[in-house]
Amino acid sequence: MSAVEGVDPARSRVFGEVAEAYDASRPGYADALVSQVLAYADLGGRPALEVGAGTGKATVQFAGRGVPLTCVEPDPRMAEVLRRNAAPYPHVRVEVGGFEEWEAAGRRFGLLFAATCWHWFAPERRWDLVHDALVPGGAVALFWNPHGVLDPEVYEELADVDRRFGVTGSPHGVPAATFGDEPGQGGEPFWPAGECRADGRFTDLTAFRYRQETRYGTERYLGFLASISSYRVLSAERLDGVLAETAKVLDARGGGIDMLHVSDLFLARRRA
């Protein structure tokens, strides 16, 4: 879920329409990020809670490290794919529902993480929900995958396509040169550090940025775009048009797009 799409409960439910394409085209997260989260959380066998789990892009990376997981996902169609992806891991439990409505039923977790979905949760409630789900000293990990276009000419051509079709918030909406070394810089307008610090119930705030270059072929990149809410809300005619024009640009550039793939990680701990 693109972090520039804003908080809109109705818009946050459009992903289930393309759950399979979402799962096939969305990128995963840096292995180093997963290692950093687990080192920081120091679970010691305690379970973790994932909210807004989607189809399990992050789930399987944590489950593969042996972490007992409860995954909360609001869309039943996404949850169906999530269950399939998590099937090899018997220590993963999937619960369908929104985080705001989810019942902990007395459970508390050593880690709560949210992968590219924090911006969908109600700002006036999300830190209360996190605090209540964690044991004292428990960790919260929030992370995103912003992208930047490496070729400035491709960026300009795609920006023109987006302007003509009224698209905002696309993965190619930022040139790679915008990204510096600081986490949250260049691609994450909802970076949580200020909000968390102002809350006062969390400590040990820290952040990391992981960078790698990657190439998307035209077909995969169009699938990626079609899974993003700013494209899902377009009329069928406009969606077909913008994807066709985007494909023309990419095919003229060798059949794909070279991107800077960033994984930004924010960590904090509930005060003991």
The secondary structure of 166-215 as a DSSP string is T--S-TTSSBGGG--SSTTTTT-TT--HHHHHHH-SEEEEEEEEEEEEEE
Instruction: Share the mean pLDDT of the chain.
Output: 90
Strand intervals (E) in 220-270: 256-270
Q: Which stretch of DSSP H or E encloses residue 160?
A: helix 152-165
pLDDT value, residue 17: 60
How far does Cα 66 stand from its chain's mean position?
21
Tell me: the pLDDT tens digits for 189-223?
679 999 999 999 999 999 999 999 999 999 999 98
pLDDT value, residue 15: 56
Q: Please choose, from the candidates 46, 21, 43, 45, the residue with its C-alpha nearest in 3D space to the C-alpha of residue 34.
A: 43
Tell me: the pLDDT tens digits for 1-36?
333 334 455 444 555 566 777 777 778 899 999 999
Query: Does residue 4 or residue 130 have the better pLDDT?
Result: 130
Tell me: the pLDDT tens digits for 52-76?
999 999 999 999 999 999 999 999 9
Q: Does domain 11-146+179-213+263-270 have CATH number 3.40.50.150?
A: yes
pLDDT value, residue 13: 52
In angstroms, the CA 102 to CA 250 distance is 42
Q: Please choose, from the candidates 81, 139, 147, the residue with its C-alpha nearest in 3D space to the C-alpha of residue 110.
A: 139
Tell me: the pLDDT tens digits for 234-249?
899 999 999 999 999 9
Please determine, for residue 187, whether its predicted confidence score (pLDDT) is greater than 80: no
Query: Does residue 8 or residue 152 have the better pLDDT?
Result: 152
In angstroms, the CA 231 to CA 240 distance is 10
Q: 7: which residues sit within 8 A by CB, 6+ positions away?
A: 119, 120, 121, 122, 123
Q: Please choose, from the candidates 150, 202, 152, 198, the residue with its C-alpha nearest in 3D space to the C-alpha of residue 176.
A: 150
Q: How many CB atoms lie within 10 A of CB 15?
A: 25
Query: Does residue 25 or residue 154 have the better pLDDT?
Result: 154
Q: 158: which residues sit within 8 A by CB, 6+ positions away?
A: 149, 170, 172, 246, 249
Tell me: the pLDDT tens digits for 90-117?
999 999 999 999 999 999 999 999 999 9
pLDDT value, residue 1: 34
pLDDT value, residue 12: 46
